[in-house]
Structure 1
Amino acid sequence: MRGDHRAHSTDTATGPPEPHSAGPRSPAEVREAVREALDNARRSRGPGATPDATAVGDVLLVASELTTNAMLHGGGVTAFEVIPGEREVRLSVSDRSEEVPRPVRDAGGPGSVRIGGHGWPIICRLARDIMISYLRAGGKRITAVVPLSPR
């Protein structure tokens, strides 16, 4: 996943999600799991390992948007994983759809307000790397790497 910014992959991922896995029930549940993982990582690294508050907010926002998109457009979340690193957090969300996210084009004129369609651009803006993998059992996994230091 290192290398080009926002690298997209069509490789088949090796670990298909459990077919009956409900995954997280809400973006709030995902945010809580991310907070817990970051707290555990901070405790294991000792004092001075607290990430920048803005960066933590970015991680929580990306986790929420990935989850919301899977729920709204991907047939539901089938798996979620958060892996905090020293300088970044890797978030993976799997869903039932094989459709790749794409930005929504603005159909309105100047001054129009568009409802929805903001999640994927937010993810692309805040994540350093993004990889999309198709799962053997069907569906896809989107993995986003979000830095833990200010941009």
Structure 2
Amino acid sequence: MGPVRAGGCLPADVRGAVRRAVARRCMATGARCDKDGLADALLVASELTTNAILHGGGVTDVAVDVVERGVRVSVSDRSDRRPVTRPALDARGRRRSGGRGWPIVCRLSRDVSVTGLPSGGKRITAEVDVF
């Protein structure tokens, strides 16, 4: 099975592509989907897409592939900057808003990679166990 493309570049579009890819695998092979794993994959898809929109200059490409144990979500954007983890508290000890997406992606994914693209920008790929 080839990659499932998102119909657009919004988080809901990418979540839909994840759902379609998993459903296609389950129908074709009778594989049982772990509902918690699927929820994790949907959250990772949302976070990658949202981060590309907010911090990466916009989404340039999305691919969702079914792999042996789950789903691989790849989101490309225009920025060469790699994601960073910010402390939860600012210099005055106050809680920061935002900054939780990248740690969520790293925690829920079996594997995460960041690859620079030849034409500029980057691709972030995360694999989440679903089966």
Same fold (TM over 0.5): yes
Q: More displaced, 25-34 or 93-102? A: 25-34
AA matched with 1:136:
P
Kept after mapping to 2: 8 A contact 1:24/1:77 = no
The 5 Å alignment of 1:1-151 reads 24-46=8-30, 49-105=31-87, 106-107=89-90, 108-109=92-93, 112-148=94-130
Structure ranking higher in helix proportion = 2
SS at structure 2 position matched to 1:54: helix
In the alignment, the residues of structure 2 paired with residue 24 and residue 50 of structure 1 have an alpha-carbon distance, to the nearest angstrom, of 28
SS at structure 2 position matched to 1:103: coil
Aligned pairs, number: 123
Kept after mapping to 2: 8 A contact 1:55/1:148 = yes
Corresponding residue for 1:11? none
Deviations 1:83-141 (A, max 9, x none): 112312111000000000001122152xx432110000000100111111111111000
Q: What's the C-alpha RMSD, in Å, of the aligned pairs?
A: 1.4
In the alignment, the residues of structure 1 paired with residue 95 and residue 116 of structure 2 have an alpha-carbon distance, to the nearest angstrom, of 34
Unpaired runs of 5+ residues, structure 1, are: 1-22
Higher relative contact order (CA 8 A, sep 6+): 1
Corresponding residue for 1:17? none
In the alignment, the residues of structure 2 paired with residue 80 and residue 104 of structure 1 have an alpha-carbon distance, to the nearest angstrom, of 25
AA matched with 2:19:
R
In the alignment, the residues of structure 2 paired with residue 84 and residue 90 of structure 1 have an alpha-carbon distance, to the nearest angstrom, of 6
Between the aligned residues of both structures, percent identity stands at 53
Question: Post-superposition, which runs of at least 4 consecutive aligned residues in structure 1 deviate over 4 A?
Answer: none
Residue 33 (structure 1) shift: 1.0
Residue 75 (structure 1) shift: 0.5
Kept after mapping to 2: 8 A contact 1:95/1:139 = yes
Unpaired runs of 5+ residues, structure 2, are: 1-6
